[in-house]
Chains A and B, each alone.
Chain A
Amino acid sequence: MTEESGEVVRVERTFAAPAEDVFDAWTSPEVMRRWFHAGPDWDTPDAEVDLRVGGKVRVVMRRPDGTEAEAQGEYTLIDRPHRLVMTWTFDDDPSNEQLIELSFSESEGSTTVLMINSGISTDERRDHQDEGWHGCLDELDRILAG
Protein backbone atom coordinates (compact mmCIF):
# COMPACT_ATOMS: atom_id res chain seq x y z
CA MET A 1 0.00 0.00 0.00
CA THR A 2 1.41 3.38 -0.92
CA GLU A 3 0.98 5.72 1.98
CA GLU A 4 0.74 8.94 0.01
CA SER A 5 -2.36 8.01 -1.95
CA GLY A 6 -4.01 6.08 0.88
CA GLU A 7 -7.52 5.23 -0.10
CA VAL A 8 -9.85 6.75 2.36
CA VAL A 9 -13.40 6.20 1.25
CA ARG A 10 -14.42 3.49 -1.16
CA VAL A 11 -18.02 3.16 -2.28
CA GLU A 12 -19.30 0.55 -4.69
CA ARG A 13 -22.79 0.15 -6.07
CA THR A 14 -24.49 -1.61 -8.95
CA PHE A 15 -27.13 0.14 -11.04
CA ALA A 16 -29.61 -1.61 -13.34
CA ALA A 17 -28.56 0.37 -16.41
CA PRO A 18 -25.94 0.22 -19.15
CA ALA A 19 -22.55 1.80 -18.48
CA GLU A 20 -23.16 4.70 -20.88
CA ASP A 21 -26.32 5.73 -19.01
CA VAL A 22 -24.65 5.46 -15.60
CA PHE A 23 -21.63 7.40 -16.78
CA ASP A 24 -23.85 10.12 -18.25
CA ALA A 25 -25.86 10.33 -15.04
CA TRP A 26 -22.65 10.86 -13.14
CA THR A 27 -21.69 13.82 -15.29
CA SER A 28 -25.16 15.31 -15.49
CA PRO A 29 -25.59 18.84 -14.09
CA GLU A 30 -29.07 17.76 -12.98
CA VAL A 31 -27.57 15.09 -10.73
CA MET A 32 -25.12 17.62 -9.35
CA ARG A 33 -27.98 20.03 -8.70
CA ARG A 34 -29.88 17.37 -6.76
CA TRP A 35 -26.94 16.01 -4.85
CA PHE A 36 -26.72 18.83 -2.39
CA HIS A 37 -30.47 18.91 -1.80
CA ALA A 38 -30.26 17.65 1.70
CA GLY A 39 -33.87 18.66 2.45
CA PRO A 40 -36.94 20.28 0.92
CA ASP A 41 -35.97 23.72 2.24
CA TRP A 42 -32.58 23.65 0.62
CA ASP A 43 -31.85 24.80 -2.85
CA THR A 44 -28.97 24.65 -5.26
CA PRO A 45 -28.41 28.04 -6.85
CA ASP A 46 -25.62 26.81 -9.07
CA ALA A 47 -24.28 23.60 -10.57
CA GLU A 48 -21.95 23.39 -13.52
CA VAL A 49 -20.40 20.51 -15.37
CA ASP A 50 -17.84 21.18 -18.08
CA LEU A 51 -17.10 17.66 -19.22
CA ARG A 52 -13.62 17.87 -20.71
CA VAL A 53 -10.16 17.32 -19.30
CA GLY A 54 -9.35 20.47 -17.36
CA GLY A 55 -13.06 21.38 -17.26
CA LYS A 56 -14.69 22.36 -13.99
CA VAL A 57 -17.44 20.72 -12.00
CA ARG A 58 -18.98 22.86 -9.33
CA VAL A 59 -22.00 22.76 -7.08
CA VAL A 60 -23.37 25.38 -4.71
CA MET A 61 -25.92 24.51 -2.06
CA ARG A 62 -27.96 26.98 -0.05
CA ARG A 63 -29.12 25.98 3.39
CA PRO A 64 -32.49 27.08 4.81
CA ASP A 65 -30.69 29.76 6.83
CA GLY A 66 -29.27 31.23 3.62
CA THR A 67 -25.67 30.12 4.15
CA GLU A 68 -24.05 28.38 1.25
CA ALA A 69 -21.77 25.39 0.89
CA GLU A 70 -19.78 24.69 -2.20
CA ALA A 71 -17.64 21.97 -3.67
CA GLN A 72 -15.72 21.96 -6.89
CA GLY A 73 -13.28 19.96 -8.90
CA GLU A 74 -11.58 19.56 -12.23
CA TYR A 75 -11.78 16.58 -14.57
CA THR A 76 -8.36 15.00 -15.12
CA LEU A 77 -9.38 11.88 -17.04
CA ILE A 78 -12.50 11.17 -19.09
CA ASP A 79 -12.88 7.78 -20.69
CA ARG A 80 -16.60 7.28 -21.34
CA PRO A 81 -18.06 4.90 -20.23
CA HIS A 82 -15.17 3.28 -18.33
CA ARG A 83 -13.37 5.76 -16.13
CA LEU A 84 -13.74 9.24 -14.73
CA VAL A 85 -11.19 11.01 -12.56
CA MET A 86 -11.49 14.44 -11.00
CA THR A 87 -10.02 16.52 -8.27
CA TRP A 88 -12.48 17.55 -5.59
CA THR A 89 -12.45 20.24 -2.91
CA PHE A 90 -15.10 21.02 -0.33
CA ASP A 91 -15.26 24.65 0.64
CA ASP A 92 -15.28 23.71 4.33
CA ASP A 93 -11.68 22.58 3.87
CA PRO A 94 -10.39 24.61 0.92
CA SER A 95 -6.73 23.69 1.31
CA ASN A 96 -7.44 20.00 0.90
CA GLU A 97 -7.67 18.95 -2.73
CA GLN A 98 -9.01 15.42 -2.87
CA LEU A 99 -9.12 12.96 -5.72
CA ILE A 100 -12.20 11.09 -6.96
CA GLU A 101 -11.65 8.09 -9.18
CA LEU A 102 -14.68 6.33 -10.67
CA SER A 103 -14.65 3.11 -12.64
CA PHE A 104 -17.67 1.68 -14.42
CA SER A 105 -17.96 -1.98 -15.35
CA GLU A 106 -20.99 -3.37 -17.15
CA SER A 107 -22.14 -6.96 -16.85
CA GLU A 108 -25.42 -8.36 -18.17
CA GLY A 109 -27.03 -4.95 -18.47
CA SER A 110 -26.06 -3.76 -14.99
CA THR A 111 -23.21 -1.43 -14.21
CA THR A 112 -21.06 -1.51 -11.10
CA VAL A 113 -19.51 1.79 -10.10
CA LEU A 114 -16.50 1.87 -7.81
CA MET A 115 -15.56 5.22 -6.33
CA ILE A 116 -12.29 5.81 -4.55
CA ASN A 117 -12.01 9.10 -2.73
CA SER A 118 -8.42 9.66 -1.66
CA GLY A 119 -6.26 12.49 -0.44
CA ILE A 120 -8.66 13.48 2.32
CA SER A 121 -6.99 15.39 5.10
CA THR A 122 -7.34 18.40 7.33
CA ASP A 123 -4.72 20.81 8.52
CA GLU A 124 -4.63 19.14 11.88
CA ARG A 125 -4.19 15.73 10.42
CA ARG A 126 -1.55 16.88 7.99
CA ASP A 127 0.68 17.41 11.00
CA HIS A 128 1.04 13.67 11.21
CA GLN A 129 1.44 13.02 7.55
CA ASP A 130 5.09 12.08 8.01
CA GLU A 131 3.93 8.69 9.14
CA GLY A 132 1.45 8.38 6.33
CA TRP A 133 -1.74 8.14 8.34
CA HIS A 134 -3.77 8.25 5.15
CA GLY A 135 -3.48 4.57 4.48
CA CYS A 136 -4.91 3.59 7.80
CA LEU A 137 -8.41 4.92 7.33
CA ASP A 138 -9.71 2.40 4.86
CA GLU A 139 -8.23 -0.33 6.99
CA LEU A 140 -9.85 1.04 10.12
CA ASP A 141 -13.16 1.32 8.32
CA ARG A 142 -12.89 -2.37 7.45
CA ILE A 143 -11.94 -3.38 10.99
CA LEU A 144 -14.80 -1.46 12.54
CA ALA A 145 -17.30 -2.76 10.01
CA GLY A 146 -16.25 -6.37 10.67
Chain B
Amino acid sequence: MISKMANDAFKALAHPLRRDIVERISRGAATVGEVTRDFGVSKPTISRHLKLLEEAGVVSRVIDGRTHRLALRPEALAEVSDWIGSQRERWERLFDVVGEYLAERKERP
Protein backbone atom coordinates (compact mmCIF):
# COMPACT_ATOMS: atom_id res chain seq x y z
CA MET B 1 0.00 0.00 0.00
CA ILE B 2 0.96 3.59 -0.40
CA SER B 3 2.86 5.12 2.48
CA LYS B 4 2.21 8.51 3.99
CA MET B 5 5.20 9.92 2.20
CA ALA B 6 4.15 8.75 -1.24
CA ASN B 7 0.72 10.15 -0.62
CA ASP B 8 2.34 13.49 0.09
CA ALA B 9 4.11 13.18 -3.24
CA PHE B 10 0.78 12.46 -4.95
CA LYS B 11 -0.66 15.53 -3.32
CA ALA B 12 2.38 17.60 -4.16
CA LEU B 13 1.95 16.75 -7.84
CA ALA B 14 -1.79 17.29 -7.83
CA HIS B 15 -1.65 20.85 -9.12
CA PRO B 16 -0.72 22.04 -12.62
CA LEU B 17 1.52 24.83 -11.34
CA ARG B 18 3.47 22.44 -9.11
CA ARG B 19 3.84 19.98 -11.97
CA ASP B 20 5.22 22.82 -14.10
CA ILE B 21 7.71 23.63 -11.35
CA VAL B 22 8.82 19.98 -11.12
CA GLU B 23 9.11 19.77 -14.89
CA ARG B 24 11.26 22.90 -15.10
CA ILE B 25 13.61 21.59 -12.43
CA SER B 26 13.80 18.24 -14.22
CA ARG B 27 14.82 20.11 -17.39
CA GLY B 28 17.70 21.76 -15.57
CA ALA B 29 16.32 25.00 -14.12
CA ALA B 30 18.10 25.56 -10.84
CA THR B 31 17.34 28.85 -9.15
CA VAL B 32 14.00 29.90 -7.74
CA GLY B 33 13.97 32.74 -10.27
CA GLU B 34 14.46 30.41 -13.25
CA VAL B 35 11.95 27.91 -12.00
CA THR B 36 9.15 30.35 -11.31
CA ARG B 37 9.64 32.83 -14.18
CA ASP B 38 6.65 33.85 -16.32
CA PHE B 39 4.02 31.89 -14.45
CA GLY B 40 1.83 34.99 -14.25
CA VAL B 41 0.87 34.38 -10.65
CA SER B 42 1.80 36.33 -7.53
CA LYS B 43 4.96 35.68 -5.55
CA PRO B 44 3.05 34.55 -2.44
CA THR B 45 1.21 31.99 -4.58
CA ILE B 46 4.48 30.67 -6.00
CA SER B 47 5.97 30.52 -2.50
CA ARG B 48 3.01 28.55 -1.21
CA HIS B 49 3.33 25.98 -3.98
CA LEU B 50 7.09 25.72 -3.58
CA LYS B 51 6.69 25.23 0.14
CA LEU B 52 4.26 22.38 -0.44
CA LEU B 53 6.70 20.70 -2.80
CA GLU B 54 9.49 21.08 -0.24
CA GLU B 55 7.32 19.77 2.61
CA ALA B 56 6.43 16.71 0.56
CA GLY B 57 10.15 16.11 0.04
CA VAL B 58 9.81 16.34 -3.74
CA VAL B 59 11.99 19.44 -4.02
CA SER B 60 14.94 20.52 -1.91
CA ARG B 61 16.29 24.06 -1.56
CA VAL B 62 19.88 25.06 -0.91
CA ILE B 63 20.49 28.68 0.07
CA ASP B 64 23.78 29.98 -1.30
CA GLY B 65 24.14 33.63 -0.34
CA ARG B 66 21.31 35.35 -2.13
CA THR B 67 20.71 32.51 -4.54
CA HIS B 68 18.17 29.83 -3.68
CA ARG B 69 18.90 26.65 -5.62
CA LEU B 70 16.27 23.98 -6.13
CA ALA B 71 16.77 20.30 -6.86
CA LEU B 72 14.45 17.34 -7.36
CA ARG B 73 14.57 14.52 -4.84
CA PRO B 74 13.88 11.47 -7.01
CA GLU B 75 13.56 9.20 -3.97
CA ALA B 76 10.37 11.02 -2.96
CA LEU B 77 8.92 10.23 -6.36
CA ALA B 78 10.17 6.66 -6.57
CA GLU B 79 7.21 5.06 -4.83
CA VAL B 80 4.76 6.97 -6.97
CA SER B 81 6.68 5.93 -10.03
CA ASP B 82 6.79 2.27 -8.91
CA TRP B 83 3.07 2.28 -8.48
CA ILE B 84 2.53 3.70 -11.97
CA GLY B 85 4.94 1.08 -13.25
CA SER B 86 2.95 -1.77 -11.70
CA GLN B 87 -0.24 -0.48 -13.33
CA ARG B 88 1.54 -0.21 -16.65
CA GLU B 89 2.99 -3.71 -16.35
CA ARG B 90 -0.46 -5.25 -16.04
CA TRP B 91 -1.52 -3.70 -19.32
CA GLU B 92 1.77 -4.27 -21.09
CA ARG B 93 1.27 -7.98 -20.39
CA LEU B 94 -2.10 -7.89 -22.11
CA PHE B 95 -0.45 -6.25 -25.12
CA ASP B 96 2.14 -9.06 -25.12
CA VAL B 97 -0.56 -11.71 -25.04
CA VAL B 98 -2.42 -10.08 -27.93
CA GLY B 99 0.83 -10.02 -29.92
CA GLU B 100 1.52 -13.71 -29.26
CA TYR B 101 -2.03 -14.66 -30.09
CA LEU B 102 -1.90 -12.82 -33.42
CA ALA B 103 1.44 -14.44 -34.29
CA GLU B 104 0.04 -17.90 -33.58
CA ARG B 105 -3.06 -17.23 -35.62
CA LYS B 106 -0.90 -16.28 -38.58
CA GLU B 107 0.94 -19.59 -38.39
CA ARG B 108 -2.27 -21.56 -38.39
CA PRO B 109 -3.42 -22.73 -41.84
- List the interface of chain A (C-beta within 8 A of B): 1, 8-9, 11, 13, 15-17, 21-22, 25-26, 28, 30-31, 34-35, 38, 113, 115, 117, 120, 122, 124-125, 127-128, 131-137, 139-141, 143-144, 146
Are A140 and B13 in contact (CB-based, < 8 A)? yes
Are B15 and A131 in contact (CB-based, < 8 A)? yes
Question: Chain B: which residue is nearest A136 at the CB level?
Answer: B13
- The proximity string for B residues 67-109 relative to A, scoring 1 for CB distances below 8 Å and 0 otherwise, is 0000000100100110010011001111101111110011000
Are B84 and A9 in contact (CB-based, < 8 A)? yes
A-B contact count (CB 8 A): 102
Are A8 and B84 in contact (CB-based, < 8 A)? yes
- Using known A-B contacts A128-B7, A140-B13, determine if residue A21 contacts B88 with beta carbons closer than 8 Å: no
Chain B binding surface SS class: helix
- List the interface of chain B (C-beta within 8 A of A): 1-2, 7, 10-11, 13-16, 19, 22-23, 26, 74, 77, 80-81, 84, 87-88, 91-95, 97-102, 105-106
- Using known A-B contacts A124-B1, A124-B2, A140-B13, determine if residue A22 contacts B102 with beta carbons closer than 8 Å: yes
Q: Please measure, in the bound complex, the distance between the C-alpha atom of A137 and the C-alpha atom of B82, giving whole angstroms.
A: 11
CB distance from A20 to the nearest CB of B (A): 11
Are A9 and B98 in contact (CB-based, < 8 A)? no
Q: Please measure, in the bound complex, the distance between the C-alpha atom of A15 and the C-alpha atom of B106, giving whole angstroms.
A: 12
